[in-house]
Amino acid sequence: MIQHKILKNSFPYLEISNQYAHAKISLQGAHVFAYKAPDKPALLWLSPKSTMQEGKAIRGGIPICFPWFGRHKADSTLPQHGFARISLWKVVDEEERTNGTTYIRLQLTQTAQTRKLWAYDFEVNLDVIVGETLTLSMHITNTDTKPFEVSTALHTYLNISDIENVEVVGLDDTEYYDALTNSTHRQQGNLSIHTEIDRVYQHKQASITLLDSDREISITSEGSGSLVVWNPWKEKSITMADMSDDGYKTMLCLETANAREDSRVIEAGKTHSIDVIYR
């Protein structure tokens, strides 16, 4: 079942239910903010203090960073992580498939407002398949007459039992940039987290696994050569208005990305795609 719903403040979203899972997608940002299979913990973490409000990013779920990741390289006054996550997308296709899964396509194209922030014509389509797995495919098409460069991420907040309980498998011997120290290092063994972390792993494997105390989450991607790992830890969480002081304990961002050296130049008329499956 696909339901088009609106909150009391006129904030539109989709609610999807099928035999495999229950999911919610905000039309602002094409933002998947809930996915839960029966008898399993929720896949995605959502801050109870996050506001579902026009023009404000949702804290949790899977925000889309586009057309730049992090701060804009030349103008720090432009929106953090670009404008896609605070823009209204439109639903251009929806289908309840015979195999029991649900398919949604959302689309964002240039407007007068986006051209004030980024002077290019573009089309971004996000395909979401809700089934036994959650699949996202983002297709970025250059509809302009000149090439443009993008750095992007599916800024996924994963729901975990406790940050002290988890390990990330699949990053051993992978080089990473540490944004907290502005330095480059190489991962040794599995990644466990006991303090604030903000890293971009380059040339990562196509599949990584999050080991939690009571389950495993596998993330398989294509079209992405970088992975962002982020947790703000206690001190920073206290300063964030849309996050509880202890929110850091039950979330970890593992973000399928084209970040830093993995940014992509898309020629006029060409398309670049990022695909990710969470299982």
The pTM of this model reads: 0.96
User: 126 pairs with which residues across the strands?
Assistant: 106, 138
Domains of the chain, start order? 2-159+241-278 (2.70.98.10)
Look at phi and psi of residue 92 and say left if phi exceeds 0, alpha if psi is from -120 to 50, else beta.
Answer: alpha
Give 48's contacts (C-beta < 8 A, 6+ positions apart): 244
C-alpha closest to that of 171 among 134, 226, 133: 226
**Amino acid of residue 258:** N
**Residue-by-residue pLDDT tens, the chain, 279 positions:** 999 999 988 899 999 999 999 999 999 999 999 999 998 999 999 999 998 889 899 999 999 999 999 988 888 889 999 999 999 999 999 999 999 999 999 999 999 999 999 999 999 999 999 999 999 999 999 999 999 999 999 999 999 999 999 999 999 999 999 999 999 999 999 999 999 999 999 988 889 999 999 899 999 999 999 999 999 999 999 999 999 999 999 999 999 999 999 999 999 999 999 999 999
Q: Report the alpha-carbon distance of residue 241 to residue 124 in Å, rounded.
A: 30
Residue 205: per-residue pLDDT? 85
Q: Report the alpha-carbon distance of residue 7 to residue 53 in Å, rounded.
A: 9
| Measured CA angle at 49 (ends 47, 54), to 5 deg | 100
Residue 71: per-residue pLDDT? 86
Residue 229: per-residue pLDDT? 98
Residue 188: per-residue pLDDT? 96
Q: Active-site residue numbers?
A: 155, 255
Q: Report the alpha-carbon distance of residue 277 to residue 101 in Å, rounded.
A: 14
DSSP helix/strand/coil, 38:
coil
